[in-house]
């Protein structure tokens, strides 16, 4: 059958016809016909690059709107969960424990984006003496992530959270239990006490609580950051930043919250 007139019309309707299943079922096409479809769409897009720009702009608008919706929802829910977000006694705290501005991070030790943000968060703590950091263990990448999260919370009980946290974050690739325990030994932790604490109800409940908080905030993954005044966590004083971002953006938000907190 003659494909070109039909396929060209499909191309004009959009670039999503790359697999040729917009109008007719895939099983109706031979391998050669599928290749013809792909080539025609490919050639059309090369001849009309403005379509790719329009599609990119549309996608960016949709993503920005999605982020805006998440932030709006977060603003509405944060006051009701502020105590558990900012002041849960089990959650590890870094930076200045008495800082009047708090940065909360939800993360997973096997999340590559979280690993990328580790140095940025550390730099923010060095550059902002008034910054308090709350670490929310949020394991979403399987069993090893949960083991790492439990081990890190157990390390916090021994007063050695930060070094162990950084060691886990700086480990390339996926983790295993043996590797996690080895890192604990390397960082001077009492492994027997660590493994016992990992199975405690307090640590299990902390992870479950973080999962509930993430669900209420409608977080779609890790990392995610919340920045707000430590002791004034009303909606208009807190800002949610879902996903990776730059150090400059986080610094700007910290400065903004610091200004509000001091006024």
pLDDT tens string 174-228: 999 999 999 999 999 999 999 999 999 999 999 999 999 999 998 989 999 999 9
241 in Cβ contact with 227 (< 8 Å): yes
Q: Is the pLDDT of residue 62 over 90?
A: no
**pLDDT tens by residue, 74-90:** 678 888 899 999 999 99
Q: What is the pTM of this model?
A: 0.74
Query: Residue 212 corresponds to which tokens in the numbers above?
Result: 């509930």
**Does position 16 have pLDDT exceeding 60, yes or no?**
no
CB 47 within 8 A of CB 63: no
Region label for 95, one of left (φ > 0), alpha (ψ between -120 and 50) or beta (otherwise): left
Q: Are 149 and 134 in contact (CB under 8 A)?
A: no
Cα-based distances in Å from 244 to 107, 207, 233, 249? 11, 22, 23, 10
Q: Are residues 41 and 21 in contact, defined by beta-carbon separation less than 8 angstroms?
A: no
């Amino acid at each position: 059958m003659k494909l070109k007139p039909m396929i060209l019309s499909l191309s004009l309707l959009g670039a999503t016809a790359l697999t040729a299943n917009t109008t007719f079922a895939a099983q109706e096409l031979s391998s050669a016909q599928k290749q013809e479809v792909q080539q025609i769409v490919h050639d059309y897009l090369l001849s009309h690059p403005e379509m790719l720009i329009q599609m990119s702009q549309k996608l960016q608008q949709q993503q920005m709107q999605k982020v805006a919706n998440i932030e709006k929802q977060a603003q509405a829910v944060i006051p009701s969960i502020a105590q558990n977000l900012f002041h849960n006694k089990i959650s590890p705290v870094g930076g200045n424990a008495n800082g009047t501005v708090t940065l909360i991070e939800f993360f997973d030790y096997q999340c590559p984006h979280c690993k990328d943000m580790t140095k940025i968060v550390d730099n923010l703590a060095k550059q902002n003496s008034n910054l308090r950091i709350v670490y929310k263990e949020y394991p979403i990448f399987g069993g090893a992530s949960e083991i790492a999260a439990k081990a890190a919370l157990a390390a916090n009980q021994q007063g050695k959270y930060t070094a162990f946290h950084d060691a886990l974050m700086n480990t390339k690739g996926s983790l295993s239990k043996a590797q996690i325990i080895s890192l604990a030994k390397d960082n001077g932790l009492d492994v027997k006490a660590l493994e016992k604490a990992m199975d405690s109800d307090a640590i299990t409940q902390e992870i479950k609580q973080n999962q509930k908080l993430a669900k209420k905030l409608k977080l779609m993954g890790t990392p995610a950051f919340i920045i707000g005044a430590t002791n004034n966590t009303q909606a208009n004083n807190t800002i949610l930043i879902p996903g990776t971002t730059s150090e400059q953006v986080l610094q700007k938000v910290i400065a903004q919250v610091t200004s509000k907190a001091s006024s």
